[in-house]
């Protein structure tokens, strides 16, 4: 389940991995390597690093992580 995708309003692609954890796919902070974190708290901290670096991160992605459940996308 994707929390946010690359495109207008987002410089990151983050999703819940089916094998567990939350992935920041092709992470610009990791030289393009995907980063798999285990908890919502870890991913929130990571996304804040993206914002500090000037990357666009949708607020609703962080809000969904704070609530501890994936965003429903039709």
* SS3 label, residue 37: strand
**Amino acid 4: pLDDT:** 94
Q: Which long-range contacts (CB under 8 A, 24 or more apart) does 22-31 make?
A: 22/65, 28/53, 28/55, 29/53
- Rounded Cα–Cα distance for residues 68 and 70 (Å): 7
| Length in residues, the chain | 74
pLDDT digits (tens, 9 = 90+) for 28-70: 999 999 999 999 999 999 999 999 999 999 999 999 999 876 5
Looking at the predicted structure, is the pLDDT value of residue 73 above 50?
A: no
Specify the DSSP element, H or E, that contains 15.
strand 13-16
pTM of the model: 0.88
Q: Are 46 and 37 in contact (CB under 8 A)?
A: yes
**Amino acid 44: pLDDT:** 97
């Amino acid at each position: 389940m994707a929390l946010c995708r690359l495109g207008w309003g987002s410089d990151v692609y983050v999703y819940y991995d089916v094998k567990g954890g939350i992935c920041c796919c092709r992470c610009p902070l990791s030289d393009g390597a995907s980063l798999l974190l285990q908890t919502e708290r870890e991913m929130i901290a990571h996304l804040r690093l993206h914002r500090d670096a000037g990357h666009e991160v949708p607020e609703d992605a962080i809000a969904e992580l704070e609530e501890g459940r994936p965003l429903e996308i039709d």
